[in-house]
């Protein structure tokens, strides 16, 4: 029976989230039960696509991505897929009427990672960020507002800025891996071979501006999504603070992390702030 397969598919998406990202899974657990699974479903989809282009070095990545995208198109058209991750994702897409253009933009950015290594202009960088991060924030927003287009349009700028901030923090954190292992340089007009404090602070200032606009959107989110998004915001703000405190030369040579015990502390403090109505 299809219902049983859907349950298995949802468990797979949840497992992907919890296996690949302790921080995101912690934040997702703070969402209301009615929307939690749908965010797992979105994360599972974007994580699998990202893994293809970032991790499967011993395989033909383009072939794998082509097959994944073809299966995605079939899943969206047929409302079923034998790939459980795509099966749960298509269910969320149809449940909230998520714009197919957002999905197409995401896949376009993933495809860029197969061949494009250097982003030389701000426009190129902005386009990649939009496709790889902003649209993911917009997909999640459609779930948060339960498909309400008016509320979605009111909050989309904040969701996009938060997605941009998260992605840029990831880029700064993963500078060593992206540059040395994948030969990628996302930040335009930045010499990663000689990253200095001035360049690092310029990047951080840009991220802080995204965070500021994103936070204003968090304040307007529905009750059942606000705490979860606030927890993710606090985690990434903490990670950015660590990166700011780390010399530019060290960022290139190590991957900065927030230890699990610190993540739990952030979660606890965020919950207390939320319960005391201090998130405003």
137-159 pLDDT per residue, tens = 999 999 999 999 999 999 999 99
Q: Taking a C-beta distance cutoff of 8 angstroms, is the pair 109, 132 a contact?
A: yes
Q: Which of 67, 66, 88, 69 is nearest to 14 (CA)?
A: 88
Give the torsion through C-alpha atoms of 73, 77, 79, 85, to 10 deg.
Answer: 0
pLDDT in the model for residue 43: 98
User: What does the alpha-carbon distance between residue 22 and residue 19 come to, in Å, rounded to a whole number?
Assistant: 7
Q: Report which of residues 51 and 192 the model is more confident about.
A: 51
Confidence of residue 33 (pLDDT cuts 50, 70, 90): very high
pLDDT tops 90 at residue 175: no
pTM for the model: 0.92
Would you tell me how many other CB atoms lie within 10 Å of the CB of residue 274?
17
Distance of CA 55 to CAs 70, 118, 128, 148, Å? 20, 19, 19, 36
pLDDT in the model for residue 278: 53
User: What does the alpha-carbon distance between residue 27 and residue 114 come to, in Å, rounded to a whole number?
Assistant: 30
**CATH superfamily, domain at 2-275:** Farnesyl Diphosphate Synthase (1.10.600.10)
27 token code pair: 């934040």
164 token code pair: 């941009």
Confidence of residue 272 (pLDDT cuts 50, 70, 90): low
pLDDT in the model for residue 173: 87
Q: Taking a C-beta distance cutoff of 8 angstroms, is the pair 198, 247 a contact?
A: no
Mean pLDDT of the chain: 90
**What is the domain partition of the chain in residue ranges?**
2-275
Confidence of residue 265 (pLDDT cuts 50, 70, 90): low
74-100 pLDDT per residue, tens = 999 999 999 999 999 999 999 999 999
- Minimum mean pLDDT range among 88-102, 246-260, 262-276: 262-276
202 token code pair: 């310029």
Q: Which of 243, 252, 108 is nearest to 178 (CA)?
A: 252
Would you tell me how many other CB atoms lie within 10 Å of the CB of residue 260?
11
pLDDT tops 80 at residue 72: yes
């Amino acid at each position: 029976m299809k219902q049983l397969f859907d349950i298995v598919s949802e468990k797979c998406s949840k497992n992907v989230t919890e296996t690949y990202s302790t921080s995101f899974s912690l934040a997702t657990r703070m969402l209301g039960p009615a929307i939690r699974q749908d965010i797992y479903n979105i994360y599972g989809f974007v994580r699998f696509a990202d893994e293809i282009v970032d991790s499967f070095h011993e395989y033909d990545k383009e072939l794998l991505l082509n097959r994944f995208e073809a299966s995605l198109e079939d899943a969206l058209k047929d409302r079923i897929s034998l790939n459980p991750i795509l099966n749960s994702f298509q269910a969320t897409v149809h449940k909230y009427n998520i714009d197919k253009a957002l999905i197409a933009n995401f896949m376009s950015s993933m495809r860029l990672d197969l061949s494009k290594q250097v982003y030389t202009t701000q426009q190129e960088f902005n386009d990649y960020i939009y496709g790889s991060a902003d649209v993911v924030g917009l997909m999640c927003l459609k779930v948060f507002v339960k498909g309400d287009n008016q509320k979605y349009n009111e909050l989309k700028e904040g969701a996009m800025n938060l997605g941009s901030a998260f992605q840029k923090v990831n880029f700064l954190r993963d500078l060593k891996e992206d540059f040395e292992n994948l030969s990628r340089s996302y930040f335009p007009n930045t010499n990663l071979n000689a990253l200095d404090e001035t360049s690092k602070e310029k990047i951080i200032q840009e991220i802080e501006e995204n965070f500021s606009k994103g936070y204003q959107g968090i304040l307007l989110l529905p009750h059942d999504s606000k705490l979860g998004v606030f927890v993710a915001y606090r985690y990434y703000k903490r990670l950015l603070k660590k990166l700011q405190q780390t010399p530019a030369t060290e960022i290139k040579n190590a991957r900065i992390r927030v230890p699990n015990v610190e993540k739990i502390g952030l979660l606890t403090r965020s919950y207390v702030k939320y319960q005391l109505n201090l998130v405003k």
